[in-house]
A and B are shown apart, each in its own frame.
Chain A
Amino acid sequence: MVFDKEESVSLVPLQSKGKPRVCAGCNRRIMDRFMLEALDRYWHEDCLKCACCDCRLGDVGSTLYTRANLILCHKDYLRLFGMTGNCAACSKVIPAFEMVMRARENVYHLDCFACQLCSQRFCVGDKFFLKNNMILCQLDYEGGHQNGHSVGQAL
């Protein structure tokens, strides 16, 4: 069975009276003031690291991802196992962890989401138009005053 779910990571203080916890990463007792609790185990803060980028999961966020017996951070989990698509503007692959802009069914790189005639990116609230599957700003769209197929609003 392959684990494939989010897990929570929580920072807990070392109990002075409880029995000393053993770190699941190095198999040693945890003598630090704080330790991480995840996957029903206890870890040194230094031991719970992403298998890909080696970031300390306690510092990065409160969720860790596990799959194929790997502990991963959110970004690397998407990097390795995320579904990727191609940008509708440049036709290059979009890594799963990257921010994208969506317009109807099209997905764009954040940088690619600009008017395809004047190469101007949009501000929040700007209207953009999709014509022939091309992104146009208001000026370019109205400049051609062709039949507008759809009107969208940049978020």
Chain B
Amino acid sequence: MMEKLKPELRHLSPKFNGCKSPQHDSLTTSRKSRVSGEGGEAVSETQENTTAASGDTAERKRVPGERCNGTMVVNGVAKETAYHSELKKLVQVIELARGGGSVDIKAREQTADINHKVQTTELCRPPIPLPLASRDPLLSETRMVQLSPLAFPLPARAMLYSNFAQPLATMNSDYGGDTEQYGMYPSHRIKRRPAPYEIEINDDNGSQPKIVRRIFTNSRERWRQQNVNGAFADLRQLIPTHPPDKKLSKNEILRLAMKYINFLAKLLDDQEGEVGGGNGSSAEGAWAPEGHEESLVQEELLQGMLSSSNSSCGSLLGGDGSPDSYTEDQDSSVESRTQTSRVLLPHSGLHMDGRNHR
């Protein structure tokens, strides 16, 4: 059985080539009948997939019965999301119906906090494998009779475990290899899709554990993603932008966070230097030129700050008026100033430039 399964598995995943055994056809037909027998829903899905699968490779055609899954695999997220909401609801019903342990409650709290923010991202994630939907009536443990739409996705790993504890015990170690094989590629969830309906063909009783495991990993991945998205959302709230509710990508969130942190650090350094310079026995002479050049210094600082706004880190340069910095940074140039370096401009240099312009 495993021999048949594996080539089929590879066959279905977009990244694998080959699978030419005629056994597939027989398997396909048996699966096909099963799929069609499971309900109109599955058939319609298959048909939908079929139309989309017309452009698929020849390998796909060999397993028409699996087209529902294979197509979804190939067509990617766009196709999958069409079923995702249904599948998600179904799976969530399972999770919810099983009652919550402490883990579940915790997860629910976590997800509830970030619900309104990551709701859409949930939908965009790879969906639960299709066979689950078609196989629902067959699974005794699922008992997905009520299809109440669920607002929030639940990781509910504990629930899943409790749900399918029985089939888990009977899970065939042979089948474990298939899913484990693709456990290394959490991002390529498409590759794991073949597993569930692969089992379906071979063994009715053995299919449930594999599907269960797929649900586990799906939920776990979803929970992990929610965690990450929630963390990003929390970080986003701390970053000053204009307008405050501007949408930032994850990349932008990280970069702007770096920028802001450097800005605050520099500000602190400058303020500390300022206080220390004022209290310490700094050269009095340094203060003298500062007086009449202060306005110009400020202007130059602003110029430098604004002129470097095109850099990736943006214009987060601050400055301080301590005498020490004036004398220290005489030689630095405005353009070479980076975020982390001391801000003070060589006022003498820019002073002349300003005068020339004016």
Interface residues of A (CB under 8 A from B): 1-3, 22, 24-27, 39-41, 47-56, 60, 66, 68-71, 73, 75-76, 79-80
B41 contacts partner chain A, Cβ-Cβ < 8 Å = no
Given A26-B306, A60-B242, A68-B271: A51 and B316 interface contact (C-beta under 8 Å): yes
Question: Residues of B contacting A70 with CB < 8 Å?
Answer: 267, 305, 318-319
Q: Chain B contact residues (Cβ within 8 angstroms of A): what range?
A: 35 or more
Given A2-B274, A54-B242, A69-B318: A27 and B305 interface contact (C-beta under 8 Å): no
Q: Which of A3, A22, A47 contacts B358 (CB 8 A)?
A: A22
CB pair B303–A80 under 8 Å, yes or no, is no
CB pair A2–B306 under 8 Å, yes or no, is no
Q: Specify the chain A residue showing the minimal Cβ separation from B357.
A: A22
CB pair B274–A52 under 8 Å, yes or no, is no
CB pair A69–B298 under 8 Å, yes or no, is yes
Q: Which of A39, A50, A80 contacts B298 (CB 8 A)?
A: A39
Q: Which of B260, B294, B318 contacts A68 (CB 8 A)?
A: B318
Question: Residues of B contacting A53 with CB < 8 Å?
Answer: 240-242
Q: Specify the chain A residue showing the minimal Cβ separation from B241.
A: A53
Mark out the residues of chain B between 316 and 345 whose CB falls within 8 Å of any chain A CB in the assembled complex: 316-321, 343
Q: Specify the chain A residue showing the minimal Cβ separation from B354.
A: A27
Q: Which of B243, B270, B298, B305 contacts A51 (CB 8 A)?
A: B305
Q: Which of B271, B302, B318, B343 contacts A25 (CB 8 A)?
A: B302
How distant is A4 from chain B, measured CB to nearest CB, in Å? Answer: 11
CB pair B320–A68 under 8 Å, yes or no, is yes
Question: Residues of A contacting B267 with CB < 8 Å?
Answer: 68, 70, 80
Q: Specify the chain B residue showing the minimal Cβ separation from A55.
A: B242
B301 contacts partner chain A, Cβ-Cβ < 8 Å = yes
Scoring B residues 23 to 66 as 1 if CB is less than 8 Å from chain A, else 0, what string do you get? 00000000000000000000000000000000000000000000
CB pair A1–B318 under 8 Å, yes or no, is no
How distant is B327 from chain A, measured CB to nearest CB, in Å? Answer: 17
CB pair A1–B263 under 8 Å, yes or no, is no
How distant is A82 from chain B, measured CB to nearest CB, in Å? Answer: 13
B134 contacts partner chain A, Cβ-Cβ < 8 Å = no
How distant is A87 from chain B, measured CB to nearest CB, in Å? Answer: 16
CB pair B320–A51 under 8 Å, yes or no, is no
Given A41-B299, A51-B316, A51-B317: A1 and B294 interface contact (C-beta under 8 Å): yes
Interface of A is mostly: loop
Cα-based distance from A71 to B319 in the complex (angstroms): 11
How distant is B325 from chain A, measured CB to nearest CB, in Å? Answer: 10
Question: Residues of A contacting B282 with CB < 8 Å?
Answer: none
Question: Residues of B contacting A39 with CB < 8 Å?
Answer: 298-299
Mark out the residues of chain B between 62 and 82 whose CB falls within 8 Å of any chain A CB in the assembled complex: none
Q: Which of A25, A54, A76 contacts B303 (CB 8 A)?
A: A25
How distant is B347 from chain A, measured CB to nearest CB, in Å? Answer: 11
B314 contacts partner chain A, Cβ-Cβ < 8 Å = yes
CB pair B309–A24 under 8 Å, yes or no, is no
CB pair A54–B241 under 8 Å, yes or no, is yes
CB pair A3–B315 under 8 Å, yes or no, is no
Q: Specify the chain A residue showing the minimal Cβ separation from B316.
A: A51
Question: Residues of A contacting B109 with CB < 8 Å?
Answer: none
Mark out the residues of chain B between 193 and 231 whose CB falls within 8 Å of any chain A CB in the assembled complex: none
How distant is B345 from chain A, measured CB to nearest CB, in Å? Answer: 10
A1-B294, A47-B306, A53-B241 known; 9 new pairs, CB 8 Å cut-off, are A2-B320, A3-B298, A39-B298, A51-B305, A54-B242, A56-B242, A68-B271, A75-B240, A80-B264
**A24, A26, A50: which has the most chain B beta carbons within 10 Å?**
A24
CB pair B309–A68 under 8 Å, yes or no, is no
How distant is B295 from chain A, measured CB to nearest CB, in Å? Answer: 8
Question: Residues of B contacting A51 with CB < 8 Å?
Answer: 263, 305, 315-318
Cα-based distance from A26 to B298 in the complex (angstroms): 14
How distant is A48 from chain B, measured CB to nearest CB, in Å? Answer: 8
Q: Specify the chain A residue showing the minimal Cβ separation from B350.
A: A27
**B240, B297, B315, B320: which has the most chain A beta carbons within 10 Å?**
B240
CB pair A27–B353 under 8 Å, yes or no, is yes
Question: Residues of A contacting B264 with CB < 8 Å?
Answer: 80
Cα-based distance from A49 to B305 in the complex (angstroms): 10
Cα-based distance from A126 to B263 in the complex (angstroms): 44
B307 contacts partner chain A, Cβ-Cβ < 8 Å = yes
CB pair A24–B302 under 8 Å, yes or no, is yes
Please, could you name 18 A-B residue pairs with CB atoms under 8 Å apart, sorted by A?
A2-B321, A22-B358, A25-B303, A26-B303, A41-B299, A49-B315, A50-B242, A51-B305, A51-B315, A54-B241, A55-B243, A56-B242, A68-B267, A68-B319, A69-B301, A69-B320, A69-B343, A75-B240
Scoring B residues 268 to 298 as 1 if CB is less than 8 Å from chain A, else 0, what string do you get? 0011001000000000000000000011011
